[in-house]
């Protein structure tokens, strides 16, 4: 997709700090890290979000997820653990509409209850 930031990162027209790449997926450091280690894993194929996935995307989704522990091991955070997040849609905090898994680690990741939306 021509106006998609992550497709441009895949194409190399926008630079990124790449960590891992194979035929199907790319992993690179998030430009605005929310943890000591914060990387993104994306499929090279443009898919806007999890909402756009069907059974036809099963292989692509498994490749994205299987790359997560691979890269986590490479960065030395697998043993301690890490959080994997897929924000979906504006209500889910998604700002870049090319499917991606966030991986956060390298420090103390707060419990999920701290990440819940504020309620009155
Ligand atoms: P979202 O909010 O869609 O779940 O996550 C998008 C993520 O992409 C954000 O954490 C943001 O910092 C990251 N991001 C946006 N533009 C770029 C970029 O040009 N390069 C890199 N490396 N990360 C980006
Ligand atoms: Zn894209």
Contacts 24+ apart (CB under 8 A), 70-74: 70/20, 71/19, 71/20, 71/27, 71/39, 71/41, 71/103, 72/103, 72/105, 74/19, 74/20
Binning pLDDT at 50, 70 and 90, where does residue 96 land? very high
Closest residue CA from atom 6 of ligand 1: 96
Q: Judge whether residue 120 has pLDDT over 80.
A: no
Nearest ligand (C-alpha, residue 102): 1
100 in active site: yes
Residue with CA at minimum distance from ligand 1 atom 21: 31
Listed in sequence order, the residues at least 6 apart from 16 whose beta carbon sits closer than 8 Å to its beta carbon are 9, 28, 29, 31
Token look-up 């897929």 returns 86
Q: Which fold has domain 5-108?
A: HIT family, subunit A (3.30.428)
Distance 43 CA to ligand 2 centre (A): 9
Residues 6+ apart with CB under 8 A from 29: 16, 17, 19, 38, 39, 40
- What's the pLDDT band for 117 if we cut at 50, 70, 90? low
Mean pLDDT of the 15-34 span = 98
What is the residue extent of each domain of the chain?
5-108
């Amino acid at each position: 997709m021509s106006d998609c930031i992550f497709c441009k990162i895949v194409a190399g027209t926008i630079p990124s700090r790449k960590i891992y790449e194979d035929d199907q997926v790319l992993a690179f450091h998030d430009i605005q890290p929310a943890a000591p280690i914060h990387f993104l894993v994306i499929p090279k194929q443009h898919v806007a979000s999890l909402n756009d996935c069907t059974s036809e995307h099963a292989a692509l989704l498994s490749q994205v997820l299987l790359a997560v522990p691979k890269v986590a091991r490479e960065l030395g955070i697998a043993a301690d653990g890490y959080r994997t997040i897929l924000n979906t849609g504006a209500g889910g905090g998604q700002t870049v509409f090319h499917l991606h898994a966030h991986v956060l680690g390298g420090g103390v990741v707060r419990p999920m209850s701290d990440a819940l939306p504020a309620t009155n």
